[in-house]
Amino acid sequence: MRKKILMLAAFTFLGTTTLLGMGRRLEGALNPTLLWEKEFDGVVVEEGVGLARISGDAIVSLKESGAEQIDKVLIFNTIGQPVVQEWKNACYGRISDDGNKVIYLTPYSADSFYDKVHYATKDGQEIWWKQHGGDAHISPDGNLVIEASTAMESTQLIEVYDATGKEVWSYKLGESIDVIFSPDSDYIIANSSTFPDKNRQSRVYKSQTGELLWKKEDEWIMSVSKDILYLVGLKGLYDREGNMIFDKGTIVSEDGKKLIVCYSKKIELISLPEKTVLETYPVKTKDFGFSYDGKCLAVIGERTDVTSTNNLFVIDTETDEIWETKIEPKGKSEFNQMQIFLTKDGKHILIQAEGKLYYYKVY
């Protein structure tokens, strides 16, 4: 167990690597490099509406023509060049972990309530499309697509399709639906509630068969590890059988060995299954990401031991190295929406800061 508590010195170097708690330069492996940044005409919006997660070699993003109208989905490679120039009128895109399969939404017609969900290769070759009325997700391995239709009473469904477009299974749930895949694509967690945000339920299914493993009333699962070893909900940490084993948690690493708990002015890093606090970071978070093994923790936020705003903190949780730099959004509002995404190996970070994208190499 590491006994020290992290207290960053006020003179920590911006844009350099330091040893946690000592405020001095450390010549280590952690050395993030900005590979490229891009500025958009409008606002790049949140994942699920606009910006998708990144894979090893491709990023799905979008461009807006104004505050309300989204007009393009773009795919960039790791050097910032567009792989597909555009899918016009696309609502948002998501990408598989290997970067080879993509889903994106377009309007079904000018006067239609419905959208089309498209399943395609990253170079733009469409494989199939379906009429659709809600959110959509692609599995990490790219072989399954979920449509979570929430628009009308008659379409409150989760529908699961395979890579050929064949429906595998479907279930009717609540008025508001949110779904996530486990990192290994073997399980689907479906959260539902009646509008507005009442009667919450979380259900865990086998992704290939639709078998319901368990459900929790008044719960909303936010993070899950491989093989559903651990699941983090609003109430705490659950094991794969649905037993609550810890009354706290914000995100679990995908390998199931580390847990992050966010408080108003600090972050705790906790080992699993021991539930031992390894480090405490004096950071107020706007968003954060975790590598698959929990080695790399990237945070957008503010230091609470000194005055700072909109900083990127990259932390190696094994060597106690920290790197930080200032992130400048395109807009100047204090309510700027900022999000962060990591590749599974923790080697690349994508930051969305309103009208800007930043892409870093970590190691």
Q: Which two tokens stand for residue 322?
A: 């920290």
Is residue 82 included in any domain, yes or no? no
Beta bridge partners of 322: 18, 315
Is residue 280 included in any domain, yes or no? yes
- Winning range, highest mean pLDDT, from 143-157, 191-205, 217-231: 217-231
Per-residue pLDDT reduced to its tens digit, 314-349:
999 888 888 888 887 665 555 457 788 888 888 889
Alpha-carbon distance of 203 to 221, in angstroms, equals 9
Is residue 207 included in any domain, yes or no? no
Conformational region of residue 151, where left means phi above 0, alpha means psi within -120 to 50, and beta covers everything else: alpha
Is residue 271 included in any domain, yes or no? yes
pTM above 0.75, yes or no: yes
pLDDT at 185 over 60: yes
Amino acid present at 13: F
pLDDT of res. 20: 44
Alpha-carbon distance of 222 to 311, in angstroms, equals 24
Question: What residue numbers bound the domain in which 357 lies?
Answer: 1-31+248-363
Q: What are φ and ψ of residue 171, in 5° steps?
A: -145, 150
Is residue 101 included in any domain, yes or no? no
Query: CATH number of the domain that 337 lies in?
Result: 2.130.10.10
Is residue 43 included in any domain, yes or no? no
3-state secondary structure of 361: strand
Using alpha carbons, select from 339, 312, 314 the residue that is nearest to residue 51. Answer: 339
Alpha-carbon distance of 171 to 157, in angstroms, equals 6
Per-residue pLDDT reduced to its tens digit, 304-319:
877 767 788 899 988 8
Is residue 178 included in any domain, yes or no? no
Specify burial of residue 228 (Cβ count, 10 A radius: 0-12, 13-18, 19+).
buried
Q: What are φ and ψ of residue 227, in 5° steps?
A: 55, 25
Quick one: how far is CA 204 from the chain centroid?
19
pLDDT at 65 over 70: no
Q: How many domains does the chain have?
A: 1
Per-residue pLDDT reduced to its tens digit, 5-57:
333 332 233 444 444 443 333 345 678 899 998 887 655 555 545 566 788 77
pLDDT at 80 over 80: yes
CA distance between the termini of the chain: 26
Quick one: how far is CA 170 from the chain centroid?
24
* 232 in Cβ contact with 224 (< 8 Å): yes
Q: Which two tokens stand for residue 237?
A: 């940490």
Is residue 316 included in any domain, yes or no? yes
